[in-house]
């Protein structure tokens, strides 16, 4: 059983990009390991796991949606250096990291790749400057073959991590309209963001307009716009990368007649 904790802190959660079983929340085929160029060297941190031993960790709607879309497991992340300013802006979200362990005899030393998405519980997350709280599936994937259960029994595990570029071959940035959206309020979940992975700004242009309206970061990878008037589709969405500042525009990606809960794929993405 994972360590249990309930108090929330400034932190992040992540999706674990490794295709292990139908219950995992990301598809290895969608993530290009060979082209995910690691930064120089590895840093140290801690790791624990939560949820069921072979589960996806979080039962959040994003994880469940990505599970249906591709297949992966959830990971939670904490970095004191991001508190509180960058977290409030949503910077660092969707950034990709590789995580591995060598400190235990059951560790394989092979890295798994995670994508930062949202908030992490407290407890062990507060004990170290950097902490990954993984799903049971993700944590076990760092073990030697047949040793996953033994590794999960370790408790707090020392790990190494490094940031990598995000790369989803053949998959462009995708927008899932929040179920609470309506003609006067629009919120959207943005996934499969390549390259740097994180976004510093998202803007929306309504149909028939030439003006970009700044969207507000809501939580995780969700951005929202509450203009105080009826929205006119189609919507174009402009994305600004958090690290490079590169701008991409998904023209008319949200069509006339859009529906809450519907998913719309663009034809653009950042390259690694």
Give, as one character, the DSSP assignment of residue 167: -
Who contacts 178 (Cβ-Cβ below 8 Å, separation ≥6)?
Answer: 186, 187, 188, 189, 222, 224, 260, 261
pLDDT at 110: 93
The verdict on pTM exceeding 0.75 is: no
Give, as one character, the DSSP assignment of residue 82: G
List, for residues 16-37, the tens digit of each pLDDT value.
333 222 222 333 334 443 334 4
Give me 232's structure tokens: 């006119």
The Cα 151–Cα 140 span in angstroms is 6
Give me 246's structure tokens: 């590169």
The Cα 120–Cα 134 span in angstroms is 10
Confidence grade of residue 192 (pLDDT, cut at 50, 70, 90): confident
Instruction: Walk me through the domains of the chain, giving residue ranges and CATH numbers.
Output: 12-164 (2.40.40.10), 174-265 (2.60.40.760)
Average pLDDT of 168-191?
93
Give me 27's structure tokens: 């598809």
Q: Please say if the pLDDT value at position 49 is more than 70.
A: yes
Peptide bond into 234 cis (omega under 30): yes
Alpha carbon 103 to its chain's center: 26
pLDDT at 57: 52
């Amino acid at each position: 059983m994972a360590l249990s904790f309930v108090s929330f802190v400034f932190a992040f959660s992540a999706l674990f990009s490794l295709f292990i079983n139908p219950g995992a929340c990301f598809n290895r085929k969608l993530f290009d390991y060979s082209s995910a160029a690691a930064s120089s060297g590895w840093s140290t941190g801690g790791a624990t796991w939560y949820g069921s031993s072979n589960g996806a960790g979080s039962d959040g709607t994003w994880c469940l949606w990505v599970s249906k879309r591709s297949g992966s497991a959830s990971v939670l992340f904490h970095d004191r250096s991001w508190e509180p300013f960058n977290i409030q802006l949503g910077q660092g979200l969707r950034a990709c990291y590789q995580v591995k362990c060598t400190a235990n005899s059951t560790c394989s030393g092979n890295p798994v790749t995670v994508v930062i998405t949202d908030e992490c519980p407290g407890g062990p997350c507060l004990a170290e400057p950097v902490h990954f709280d993984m799903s049971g599936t993700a944590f076990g994937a760092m073990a030697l073959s047949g040793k996953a259960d033994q590794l999960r029994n370790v408790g707090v595990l020392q790990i190494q991590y490094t940031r990598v570029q995000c790369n989803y071959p053949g998959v462009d940035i995708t927008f899932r309209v929040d179920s609470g959206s309506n003609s006067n309020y629009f919120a959207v979940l943005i996934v499969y963001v390549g390259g740097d992975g994180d976004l510093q700004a998202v803007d929306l242009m309504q149909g028939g307009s030439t003006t970009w309206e700044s969207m507000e970061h809501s939580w995780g990878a969700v951005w929202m716009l509450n203009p105080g008037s009826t929205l006119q589709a189609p919507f174009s969405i402009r994305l600004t990368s958090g690290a490079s500042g590169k701008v991409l525009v998904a023209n008319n990606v949200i069509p006339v007649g859009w529906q809450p809960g519907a998913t719309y794929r663009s034809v653009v993405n950042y390259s690694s």
